[in-house]
Amino acid sequence: MPVGTQATVKGLTPEQLRQVGATLLLANTYHLTLRPGDDLIAEQGGLHRFMAWDGPILTDSGGFQVYSLALSCKISDQAVVFRSHIDGALLELTPEKAMAIQENLGSDIAMCLDECPPAYSSPEQLREAVRRTIHWAERCRMSHRRSEQGLFAIVQGGTDLDLRAACARALIALDFPGYALGGFGVGEAPDEMLAALPATAALLPADRPRYLMGVGRPEDILAAVACGLDMFDCVLPTRNGRNASAFTSDGPLRLRNASYKRDSRPLESGCQCYACRHFSRAYLHHLFLAKEMLGPILLSLHNVAFYCRLMAEIRQAIRAGRFAEFRSVSLARWGVTL
């Protein structure tokens, strides 16, 4: 899922996203209720009409902001209270309000409010986050009203497999349409996450969508797919694009490097995105040195195209029974060792 936190994937139009194969976007409850307001979006016909996206949308609950804005929020069993990063106003987010906001937004998939603890939290902090996540999931389930909107629960527990198992069991008993793994990619070493993923993914029902939240390095996606996970989101494609870094099937390119000054090749041979069909590495190198806004736009477009193509190739490899081979060849081309 390309990330459209503020009801937009940075620098890209909905038509461009469709052309490169994006089918599902992510938007954020916390940010959209602060600005422009979920009531205003509902008044405008819902999030799909507001942002002119006719495909499905998943909205995060605001639970990740419990982690990312930890210094400006207070948390209790009743609610998490944020101080707005925009104007300092207080926002109280309860499980019930998180559901009401997402129903107002009209997303196709809503996420339960959860507590996302940072990496290397104490055992007591992890246990408390798991207990509260389960409690909030129960309240989300009870207050959720839109039957056409899928509601996913989020399994927490850090890299503690016993806590992850306890959290998963409690949430599976509530029978959600889908399940997510949260609390990865929040400061732990990549090797620690990858070591915990197989057992953690195995806890989730195989007949429901299984979503790994906020993890998006290509090699991590391949590792997670090998564990049975289905859905991913990450800001890397557009963030790296804005910073002159392109993903390709032969590994990353840093377009500010002087070696590209006279390079007439496209970013990636065979890529059919607009950037690769029309522009050279030399031109893109020039755009970034000149600080022209077209450079970040073109690289963001290419990177989203790369990720959409990667996911399509993964699906094809699974159907053909050759995913392990595909993973091995891809990692070798990217210069990544298992």
Report the sign of the C-alpha dihedral through residues 207, 209, 213, 216, in that order: positive
Are 221 and 336 in contact by the 8 Å Cβ rule? The answer is no
Q: What is the largest CA-CA distance in the chain?
A: 61
Return the half-sphere exposure (C-beta side, CA atoms, 13 A cut-off) of residue 31. 15
Given the residues 38, 60, 160, 220, the one annotated as active site: 60
Nearest to 156 by CA among 114, 102, 198, 218: 114
Q: How far is the C-alpha of 49 from the C-alpha of 51, rounded, in Å?
A: 6
| Side chain identity, residue 134 | I
Answer yes or no: 233 catalytic.
yes
Nearest to 245 by CA among 235, 148, 90: 235
**Sign (positive or negative) of CA dihedral 152, 156, 159, 162:** negative
Task: For 299-335, give one letter per residue: b (16+ CB within 10 A) or e.
Answer: bbbbbbbbbbbbbeebeebeeeeebeebbeebbeebe
Exposed/middle/buried for residue 189 (C-beta within 10 Å: 0-12, 13-18, 19+):
exposed
> Per the residue annotation, which of 77, 207, 233, 263 is the catalytic one?
233
Length of the chain: 338
Active site residue 220: no
Neighbours of 149 (CB within 10 A): 18
Q: Which residues are catalytic?
A: 60, 233
